Every structure is written in structure tokens, then in C-alpha cells.
Amino acid sequence: MLLGVILGAILTVAGAYLFDSSSGRAPNGLTTTSAGGQAPLVNWDVVSNDWNAFTTNVRDSVANLERSLKRHTG
């Protein structure tokens, strides 16, 4: 079930990205009016910023955990 949920999320994001890219709605520096007045389904700049913040937080957490384990194990 977990694999199905993960696969479904990946397919959903990939489908939205493909639709935005193929319809000219992807954020490519153009205004909303140049894409037929329709905004992209997903604001990919926000997704990118959130993903970068998430990965930075995970890296920091792993580094803190490693330091903590090294302190306790000597």
C-alpha cells in the first residue's frame, strides 16, 4: 500500500509537470497572459524552494544526529 501511495504521488507530480510543460504554462519567464490567460497547475518555483529547504533540513538533521552519536560513543 505504501508503495502505491508513493507511486501515485510521483505520477501525479509528473503528470502535472508534463501538462504544464506541454501547454506552455510552465514558469518560463512569460506572463500568464502569454499562456492563454491560464496560470500553471503548479508553481514550480515554490516547489523547488520547498524541496531545497526540505533537503537542507534533512542534511542538517543527519549531521546533528551523527555529532550526537559520536559524542555518546566516544
* Radius of gyration for the chain, computed over Cα atoms and rounded to the nearest angstrom: 19
The dihedral through the CA atoms of 24, 28, 33, 38 has a sign that is positive
74 three-state secondary structure: coil
Among the ranges given (6-10, 33-37, 40-44), the one the predictor scored with the smallest mean pLDDT: 33-37
pLDDT of residue 60: 96
Backbone angles phi, psi at 47, to 5 degrees: -60, -45
Look up the pTM and report it.
Answer: 0.55
Which positions ≥6 away from 27 have C-beta within 8 Å?
40, 43, 44, 45
pLDDT at 63 over 90: yes
**What average pLDDT score do residues 46-61 get?**
90
8 A C-beta contact, residue 27 and residue 40: yes
